[in-house]
Amino acid sequence: MSERLVVIGGCAAGMSTASKARRVNPDLEIVVYERTGFVSYGECGLPYYVSGLVDDHNQLVARTPAQFAGRGIEVHLHHEVTEIVPENRRLRVTNLEDGGSWYEDYDRLVVATGGRPVLLPGFSFPPAPPKPGLSKVEGLGGMGGGVFVLRALEDGIAVREFIQRERPGHAVIVGAGYIGLEMAESFHVLGLETTVIGRPPQVLKLFDPDMAKLVQEELERKGIRLSLGDEVKALEGDAQGRVRRVISSKGAFEADLVLLALGVRPNVALAKEAGVALGETGAIATDPQMRTNLPGVFAAGDCAEAYHLITGHGAYIPLGTTANKQGRVAGTNAGGGHAEFSGIVGTAITKVFDLYAALTGLSEKEALALGYAVESTTIKASSRAHYYPGGGPMHVKLVVEESSGRLLGGQIVGGEGAGPRIDVLATALHQEMTVEELSELDLAYVPPMSPVWDPLLVAANVALK
């Protein structure tokens, strides 16, 4: 009799797990339960779907349940796993469409329950289970219409439908992280007057303030209103339960659309209840094979920690790249193969209008908070040879351990070419390179792509002084 793998959650980590387990083990029975109406979609593409740059939400879907079925992977949409009984290797499944509920067995289990959006006090998640065909998130937290999060594909569909139907004029985004800023661009593209309210005194709080400032300037140049170091106190609605104003410590902002973009926390209630151990970060702790403390139970993606290669501790940096890698490893091991996930260095990037802002490793403030003695270097270079038209500034910051000269982190803000360049720094971090070794790299040069001294080499040379 073939073994049975159950995967809870059908986004990046869950479907990578299922796909990899299938490749590793053709005999395994593989079942995926997904709470929402979609699996295997590009969550990071939601801002571009809302803006209309991506026409159809189906374009975001990499593979449909039918396509997975063709590979022998059984996908159940609108099904929620509500209980894990590890001692019996059983779990309880609820069909959200008809309310039916039953126990069933697993041999291997992969928890890929993802993250849940952080909300304002008084809001609850998940909202009432979506009914089939009903994708609009209404009445979230009892606040009334016009208040959204952007997490699942259905959230994106709901925001876009709302904008098309209600033609809101003023959007307020609460939160100035990646999703907040990407959505500010989307709303702006759609003609909404857009305000971003953020609690920290800067946007993109993982970046150092000097680098974040460049992004703030870009947002302001494009007409986004920023209210930073500010805190939302209340959302005011009208008689119809539609949001009308956001009241913050600094003032009141007209709003007929509010997006809560306050980040995510690991969605671990189910696993925790079953006795799955969490790490310091509050996400599920795993070993390099993505095994949890419970036999036969793995975890992957935004519900799990990742080992941070710089700090040597578990980190919670929920990103699709990591989810996919962890899913592959969990799937390999759950399928009976062997794989390990070595860890992350915390690489991330966002595009905000014409700027990319990318980081890897530790920021200066993070390094200092962790007790490192660091030297930081920030340079401004050109993205192309000085004579080649169309270039723009590229800002590079390197954070270097004083005693050893080892690179601890890097940040890049600039136009084209800023993105893949962070990958060179990420590679340097994986390899524990010093800034001197960085300065010696034989990097490519052609005038449309860089000055003869690549911005990374300029930064390394300045850091060496």
Q: Which of 408, 385, 389 is nearest to 463 (CA)?
A: 408
Q: Which is nearer to a second copy, 266 or 346 (CB)?
A: 346
Give the Cβ contact number of residue 429 at 10 Å.
23
Give the Cβ contact number of residue 462 at 10 Å.
16
Which range touches a second copy (CB under 8 A), out of 198-206, 225-233, 346-354, 396-404? Answer: 346-354
According to CB under 8 A, which residues from 122 to 151 bind a second copy?
none
13, 38, 115, 240, 392 from 33: Cα distances, Å: 13, 11, 16, 36, 47
Q: Which is nearer to a second copy, 98 or 442 (CB)?
A: 442
Mention every residue, 6+ apart, whose C-beta is less than 8 A from residue 267: 113, 114, 115, 116, 302, 303
Q: 59, 124, 164, 249: which one contacts a second copy (CB under 8 A)?
A: 59
What number of chain residues touch a second copy (CB under 8 A)?
68
Packed helices 320-334 and 12-24: angle between N→C axes, nearest 10 degrees: 30
Which range touches a second copy (CB under 8 A), out of 115-123, 166-174, 219-227, 319-327? Answer: 319-327
Which range touches a second copy (CB under 8 A), out of 120-128, 197-205, 212-220, 385-393? Answer: 385-393
According to CB under 8 A, which residues from 386 to 405 bind a second copy?
386-389
Structure tokens at 278: 């969490």
Which range touches a second copy (CB under 8 A), out of 1-9, 57-65, 101-109, 110-118? Answer: 57-65
Residues known to be catalytic: 44
Q: 7, 60, 304, 330: which one contacts a second copy (CB under 8 A)?
A: 60
Q: Which is nearer to a second copy, 42 or 129 (CB)?
A: 42
- Distance CA(128)–CA(230), nearest Å, equals 30
Residues forming beta bridges with residue 331, ordered by sequence position:
none
By CB under 8 A, residue 173 contacts a second copy? no
Q: 176, 204, 433, 435: which one contacts a second copy (CB under 8 A)?
A: 433
| Cβ atoms 350, 178 nearer than 8 A | yes
Structure tokens at 374: 């660091």
Q: Which is nearer to a second copy, 189 or 247 (CB)?
A: 189
Alpha-carbon torsion angle 116, 119, 124, 125, nearest 10: -20
Q: Shortest approach of a second copy to residue 45 CB, angstroms? A: 5
- Distance CA(196)–CA(171), nearest Å, equals 9
According to CB under 8 A, which residues from 27 to 56 bind a second copy?
42, 44-45, 48-49, 53-54
Residues forming the site for a second copy (CB under 8 A): 12, 42, 44-45, 48-49, 53-54, 59-60, 62, 309, 319-322, 324-325, 341-351, 356, 358, 360, 385-389, 416-417, 419-424, 426-431, 433, 437, 440-450, 452-454, 456
